[in-house]
Amino acid sequence: MILFLDFDGVLHGNDAGLELNVRDEASLQSLTDEQRRFITRDGRLIVGENLFGHADRLAVALEPYPDVRIVITSTWRIYFELEALQRFLPPALAGRVIGITPQVFSRDGVSQRVREIDAYFRKNDRGLEPWIALDDHDWPFISGGGVSPYLILLDGKEGFTDAAAVVLRQRLREEKNPNNRTTSKTCAIPTSGLNEYIIGLARQHGVKYVKTSSDELAEVITRLADDNVEMDEVELLLIALERAGVITSEQVVPLHVNYLQEKLNDLPEDIQKE
């Protein structure tokens, strides 16, 4: 399980901001050692009330789940090296950090954080791994016509409170005990971003497609009928999600139809007309 972690509005309030350049000697001399920790690599100072004040609470919430790893999504990753980001965190959290998400700018309607998380998985070849995100904004997580179900949305003014810790632990318990898992069976069927939605759903629930003897028989029958239809990775994940009980058989058909329609719409017009 990977926890994609924002800083501002999560580990402290969302009032943190960048001061003007503090590289000159007079500015540096006026800062305390604690303040100097927050000078960015381009020489600016991050200021805010009680920075990382909620980090210990998150560390306690994660204690029963030693397998959870942290990937930092915060914009702080633009201003500090990974080692510096880890030093901002208590040891119990710093030891869980395995990386940062790459910067990706979306141009196809899929929100930035969703695209960055997908890029992280691809870049690090981590496969279909379940994940949760802590963030104080929902717009970077819009996917498939709605907000990603893997986001735990926080009040940016409050950050990671005791109530948020309860929600996180509940989600982690559901992942550890699949029989208690809250599935997406009541979620609306998305009409866009189907590729990312289906792959993300499989990642969240740790679902992979495994070919069965029934699948092999169906392939033989298809070939004998001279009906050469090959399913791609996303279509196979739909089958796996239904088998795992993550989605119902009633959801498979509209999800598949919407996926194929979106896939068709992405083709050049001359091919669509064929």
Residues 162-214: pLDDT tens digits?
888 988 988 888 877 755 544 444 445 777 778 878 887 787 677 788 877 65
Q: Is the pTM of this model over 0.75?
A: no
The pLDDT confidence band at residue 227, using thresholds 50, 70 and 90, is: very low
Would the pLDDT of 76 be above 90? yes
CA–centroid distance for 177 within its chain: 20
Least confident of 47-61, 62-76, 131-145: 131-145
How many CB atoms lie under 10 A from the CB of residue 225?
Answer: 9
Would the pLDDT of 90 be above 90? yes
Alpha helices (H) along 134-183: 162-176
pLDDT > 90: percent of the chain: 24
φ/ψ of residue 138, rounded to 5: -95, -25
Would the pLDDT of 68 be above 80? yes
Give the model's pLDDT for residue 94: 96
* CB-facing half-sphere around the CA of 238: CA atoms within 13 A: 20
Q: Under CATH, what is the fold of the domain 2-17+47-176? A: Rossmann fold (3.40.50)
pLDDT tens digits for 235-269? 888 888 878 777 876 677 788 888 888 888 876 65
How far, in Å, CA of 274 to CA of 272, rounded? 6
Would the pLDDT of 158 be above 80? yes
Give the model's pLDDT for residue 80: 93
Domain residue ranges in the chain: 2-17+47-176, 194-272
Give the model's pLDDT for residue 188: 58
Contact assessment for residue 3 and residue 9, using Cβ atoms and an 8 Å cutoff: no
Residue 127 CB contacts under 8 Å (≥ 6 apart), including other chains: 121, 208
pLDDT tens digits for 16-56? 877 767 666 656 777 777 778 888 888 888 888 889 999 99
Identify residue 55 by its one-letter amino acid code: A
Q: Which of 72-76, 101-105, 159-163 has the highest mean pLDDT?
A: 72-76
Give the model's pLDDT for residue 33: 78
The pLDDT confidence band at residue 6, using thresholds 50, 70 and 90, is: very high
Give the model's pLDDT for residue 186: 40
